[in-house]
Amino acid sequence: MQTRTAVLHRVGAPIAVETLDLAAPRTGEVLVRIHAAGVCHSDWHLVSGATQHPLPAALGHEGAGEVIALGPGVTRLNVGDHVSLNWAPACGTCFYCLHDSPNLCDAYLDPIWAGVMLDGETRYALRGQPVYHYCGLGCFSDYVVVPEQSCVRLDPRVPAAVAALIGCAVTTGVGAVLNTAQVKPGSSVAIFGAGGVGMSMVLGAKLAGAARIIVVDRAPAKADQALHLGATHFVPAGDDAIGEIRALTNGRGADYSFEAVGLPAVQEACLAAARPGGVIVLAGLAPMGSSTNLPGAVLTRQEKTVKGSYYGSAHPQRDFPLYASLYLDGLLDLEGLITRRYRLEEINAAYAEMLAGQVVRSVIEFEA
């Protein structure tokens, strides 16, 4: 069959919407009709070259839709299931899966970073040539073929755009707060970067009962958006930000400090924003090969803990339905994260607005 898909042909090029050939699902795979896909910064890292990936690549890793066909041997899903896509599928039997870290499962790492399915081939092709799948997905597309492990069934009452965000921003941001940091009630939290990931951290911090939720961003438009979602304070990024955070935390610094931008300089600011004994959580993806100055002289003397957080230390099969039910119960304002909705043809405009700091999260919606 054929599908319209957002494709990156080379670093720095505009994203092209192409009509691709899509192979039928093979053993253990399903065909999903995409209803919505979120505009996450991680795809942009391929466009900028901060993340290196085989090209041409089908972009999109924050998607949701409906299973419309099963390949042979699929056991966990049925036609008609509403699913959110998991960009870190887990095998269930490797060291990491058995040690409470399915987000770090290494069974699929090689094919995922090669942009192929488990059999080493792509399901997308353009004029007979392979088009690689970002994160084993590539879901800025009317249709995708994915392994069944990449699907998490969700309650069909969850709107598609919300289900899409659960597939990345929400799981990454809420999970960084609840799973990675395990923020305690009454604590102070500083969050650098108020995009889909950082604002999901705001929602997570509110849910965890944090007393002070201080958002730092360079875009002034983020102030009202952050306060609306539950931040208690907004601080403009810049030289004064650390002083302002200390002033809001009895001169000490935040109990927890989160980075949701992906820049070494901001990661360093995050270390300075945390109080002695505080926890720093790095969720932004800094460019591959970059390095950050997190001095041991400070870490030891001030007993600060730095944690990486990949996909919010999630168990996607457990956490996606949890976030969906918290949303349905009115405890997690996931609709509030969605600023704008676009058609697939508008994807370059959607990314331009994300880069300009105008949106919390935009979503590409597909024809029903």
Ligand X SMILES: NC(=O)c1ccc[n+]([C@@H]2O[C@H](COP(=O)([O-])OP(=O)(O)OC[C@H]3O[C@@H](n4cnc5c(N)ncnc54)[C@H](O)[C@@H]3O)[C@@H](O)[C@H]2O)c1
Regarding 168 and contact with ligand X (CB under 6 A), the answer is yes
Give the one entry of ligand X, Zn ion, none that residue 41 binds, where binding means its C-beta sits below a cut-off of 5 to 8 angstroms depending on kind: ligand X
Provide the minimum distance between the beta carbon of 338 and ligand X in the complex, in angstroms, as a whole number: 12
For the chain, how long is the longest CA-to-CA vector?
63
Which residue number, 143 or 192, has a Cβ lying nearer to ligand X?
192
Q: Please tell me whether residue 261 binds ligand X under the rule CB under 6 A.
A: yes
**Cis omega (within 30 of 0) on the bond before 56?**
yes
CA distance 13 to 4: 18
| Residues listed for the chain | 368
Partners of 143 in the β-ladder: 33
Closest-approach residue to ligand X (CB)? 195
**Which segments of the chain does DSSP mark as H helices, in order?**
41-48, 95-98, 109-114, 160-166, 169-175, 196-207, 222-229, 241-247, 264-273, 296-301, 316-328, 347-355
Query: Is 284 an interacting residue with respect to ligand X (CB under 6 A)?
Result: yes
Contacting range for ligand X; rule: CB under 6 A; set: 27-35, 73-81, 127-135, 210-218: 210-218
Q: What single-letter DSSP state applies at residue 251?
A: T
Question: Could you say whether residue 323 binds ligand X (CB under 6 A)?
Answer: no
Q: What residues from 237 to 256 belong to the interface with ligand X (CB under 6 A)?
A: 237
Nearest to 365 by CA among 106, 62, 131, 57: 62
Rounded to whole angstroms, the Cα distance separating 303 from 310 reads 23
Q: What are phi and psi of 20, to 5 degrees?
A: -105, 155
175 counts as binding ligand X under rule CB under 6 A = no
45 is a contact residue toward ligand X (CB under 6 A)? yes
Residue 260 interacts with ligand X (CB under 6 A): yes or no: yes
Nearer to ligand X, 158 or 194 (CB): 194
Shortest spacing between CB 47 and Zn ion, in angstroms: 14
**Is residue 237 within 8 Å of residue 216, measured between CB atoms?**
yes
* Shortest reach from residue 83's CB to ligand X, in Å: 19
Site map 5..44 versus ligand X, x via CB under 6 A: -----------------------------------xxx--
Pick between residue 135 and residue 214 the one whose CB is nearest to Zn ion: 135
For binding to ligand X (CB under 6 A), which residues are involved? 40-42, 45, 168, 172, 192-198, 216-219, 222, 237, 260-263, 266, 283-285, 309-311, 354, 357
